[in-house]
Structure 1
């Protein structure tokens, strides 16, 4: 907490909030990898062993249960980014930034729930689900993840990059990286497997920069006080 004026106090964003982006990126990357491994693509994948191998089934269930925590850390990450932007942010872009982040979180949860439903389908132990049930659950999970969640992640990265460019709070290489991430998520992720991993990678880089910037700002603030 720091003094802003006579009788006024302003809460400072805890530095740990910047770490939330790092944790989110790692959890999301793990969830995407395990989701693709646990619910593979292709009509013949239903008999590939994901439903007859109980150990693999349990590992994927445990991994998917971590996704809600990734969502929580993502919200902390959004808060840390907005604190880094400050009060001079454009209201239009700020609304798009926040809205896309919330919709991304909801869509990610939906994709995870669909994947969990595929794994938890009611069928005899050690047997694969029916092809119709498999196709429906698999298509629902992948459509939510690659068609909707990635599009919202693209809007999130784009709005953050535009804000960072306009206000000069992000270095040029990081801004360019954000626009490349946006283009990839919008036009490539739906057709090329594993490309959605670029979003947690971008989030990790952005979080590292925010942590570094906040580490430089705090000693300067203490010296000014």
Structure 2
């Protein structure tokens, strides 16, 4: 009898409805931090030190936003896994989760590098120009080459899961594949290439929100009848 009473105290843990907004939050914060970083960098890396003056405030703001973008991205991964439920395959789930976490880790490393270089430039002046240039190139390589490749793998694995399970419409799966292939092939330091991934995350999140409300409305109507 006591065991039965103890069991009644537990509740089934469910994903909050608002969790689907996490992808939109990630897209907004991540895109903002990228724009701030890129506008603080000169087109020519051998111009005057890009981490001081007006660019310093923008980089500091980007460094503040980046951790919150990462937290929102973790919530987005959780929403995707919750939507898959029992349909999740171990192989594709491993690739999907691993690539997502690697993308996030590389983003944090890139921002950490930016913060370190900013501190060196602020306290050392022109004597540390070579270190500043070196850190700048590391940050761009991590962001635009390695992190974007992991983002592409994340998209391809997720697109394959959606294709096999039918959880997402065919047009969204095809769009996912096309963007992912572009991120795999194109090697560019252009900000527009990098912004393709958060834009895709925002579209997926909006679709999940809209379809989730539709499903709940239909369930409520069926219960009322």
TM-score using structure 2 length? 0.87
135, 142, 146: which one aligns with 1:148: 146
Aligned CA distance change for structure 1 residues 106 and 124 (closer, same or farther; 3 Å): closer
188, 192, 212: which one aligns with 1:191: 188
State the match for 1:26 in structure 2. 28
CA distance in 2, matches of 1:52, 1:122: 7
CA distance in 2, matches of 1:154, 1:16: 26
Contact 2:29 2:66 in 1 (8 A): yes
Number of paired residues? 214
Taking the TM superposition and a 5 Å limit, the aligned residue runs for 1:1-225 are 10-45=12-47, 47=48, 50-53=50-53, 55-123=54-122, 127-128=125-126, 130-188=128-186, 190-194=187-191, 195-223=193-221
Shift of 1:123: 4.8
Q: Which runs of 5+ in 1 are unaligned?
A: 1-6
Root mean square deviation, CA, Å: 2.1
CA distance in 2, matches of 1:143, 1:173: 32
Q: Which runs of 5+ in 2 are unaligned?
A: 1-7
CA distance in 1, matches of 2:21, 2:155: 18
CA distance in 2, matches of 1:208, 1:129: 48
Contact 1:121 1:129 in 2 (8 A): no
Shift of 1:57: 0.8
Contact 2:51 2:121 in 1 (8 A): no
